[in-house]
Amino acid sequence: METDQAGNLWATLRGKSDRAMLLGGHMDSVPNGGWLDGCLNVLGALEVLRRIASEGTPPVTVRLVDWADEEGARFGRSLFGSSAASGTMNPDDLRNLADKEGIKLVDAISKYGVNLDTAKQSGSQLKTAAAYLELHIEQGPVLESMNLPLGVVLGTFGVERHAIKFTGQSAHAGSTPMDKRRDAFGAAAKLGLEIREIAKRHGGVCTVGSVITKPGIVTAVVGQCDMLLDQRHLSAEELAKMLQEAKDASERFAKEENVGVEWNRIWQIQPILFDKHLVELAEEAVMETARVSHRLPSGPLHDAAEVSRAGIPTIMLFVQSLRGLSHTKEENTKEEHLSMSVQALDRLATKAMNWIVEAGK
Ligand SMILES: [Zn+2]
């Protein structure tokens, strides 16, 4: 057992080869979160590790990892441990983050022996990695709606997140005739509906999560409207099209309402596709366990996305979430499905070890 420079916890079972199969996920949760995201992935992986250990020395080294602070619930920055290890973390982005009490991230992690400036040295843990497997609850309604216990994850959605500002003219609600208004909310409302059509056309998801009107009183036409838009797709090309269509639509609506519009990118990440061969092996493992399988993308990001970005062949299995709920106490999965999910991970682990040996990876 060891803890690396980013606070990730590792358990290693030495095999005949140094090439390592990694299994794991995260143990942290969110305030008022459920019991499965992410305990299931680490504890499921632990059971697989125990099974492999009980059979003597495995052909490859098997390592269980519990990534530090996946959720980012306290400081608003997700995937701390895995992004440090993958090398995509920029310490300067995190240096000034503070929690609700004003305690800085740098001070909080130092209590656990983690130094922001050396956290990326945890990347050395990935040097021998030949594959990474992660089991997770789906956190959405797709598998349940198809009456399927398990699914194979193709990758994680790319994300475009923007702040959109419509600027019109605040004016008296009683004295300003309808055809003389420059109503910033009018344009925003049209865009709010249009992004749903854009998402449908391209098979992605688009969400307006926040709309703030100013001055925000019932007796004034809205002079300024600030909107937050989140767009996600598994294809980079389709994601770019969804963004362009939303921009074009916003300009059209701004013109119609005689207001201005301005876009600012808040955050962006490219789609991350998991390893093709591991997708096949995962499908075999799911078929052998449940006799039926389904391939689906992941909307939420996961540690697996970071490991994949580090160039390590990666795959995830999803197990059905009841009512598609997660990040709430109601999060749950049928016990028989939980048990099947760990069995499928176990089968996949054996297949992945054989693949690492055969492919000389
Ligand atoms: Zn999770």
Structure confidence at residue 333 (pLDDT): 98
User: Which whole number is the average pLDDT over 157-175?
Assistant: 96
57 CA distance to ligand 1 middle (Å): 30
- 3-state secondary structure labels for all residues of the chain: CEECCCCCEEEEECCCEEEEEEEEEECCCCCCCCCCCCHHHHHHHHHHHHHHHHCCCCCEEEEEEEECCCCCCCCCCCCHHHHHHHCCCCHHHHCCCECCCCCEHHHHHHCCCCCCCCHHHHHHHHCCEEEEEEEEECCCCHHHHCCCCEEEEEEECEEEEEEEEEECCCEECCCCCHHHCCCHHHHHHHHHHHHHHHHHHHCCEEEEEEEEEECCCCCEECCEEEEEEEEEECCHHHHHHHHHHHHHHHHHHHHHHCCEEEEEEEEEECCEECCHHHHHHHHHHHHHHHCCCCEEEECCCCHHHHHHHCCCCEEEEEECCHHHCCCCCCCCCCHHHHHHHHHHHHHHHHHHHHHHHHCCC
User: Which whole number is the average pLDDT over 92-109?
Assistant: 94
pLDDT, tens digit (0-9, with 9 covering 90-100), for 246-273? 999 999 999 999 999 999 998 888 999 9
Structure confidence at residue 38 (pLDDT): 87
Structure confidence at residue 267 (pLDDT): 83
pLDDT, tens digit (0-9, with 9 covering 90-100), for 185-203? 999 999 999 999 999 999 9
User: Which whole number is the average pLDDT over 93-121?
Assistant: 95
Structure confidence at residue 300 (pLDDT): 87
pLDDT, tens digit (0-9, with 9 covering 90-100), for 5-52? 999 999 999 999 999 999 999 999 999 999 999 899 999 999 999 999
pLDDT, tens digit (0-9, with 9 covering 90-100), for 49-67? 999 999 999 999 999 999 9
pLDDT, tens digit (0-9, with 9 covering 90-100), for 218-246? 999 999 999 999 999 999 999 999 999 99
28 CA distance to ligand 1 middle (Å): 8
Q: What is the mean pLDDT of the chain?
A: 96
Structure confidence at residue 135 (pLDDT): 98
64 CA distance to ligand 1 middle (Å): 16
213 CA distance to ligand 1 middle (Å): 34
| Assessment of whether the complete model's pTM goes beyond 0.95 | no
Structure confidence at residue 322 (pLDDT): 97
Contacts of 292 (CB under 8 A, 6+ apart): 148, 286
Structure confidence at residue 360 (pLDDT): 77
User: Which whole number is the average pLDDT over 152-159?
Assistant: 96
pLDDT cut 90: percent of the chain above it: 94
40 CA distance to ligand 1 middle (Å): 9
Structure confidence at residue 361 (pLDDT): 61
360 CA distance to ligand 1 middle (Å): 31
Structure confidence at residue 64 (pLDDT): 98
83 CA distance to ligand 1 middle (Å): 14
71 CA distance to ligand 1 middle (Å): 7
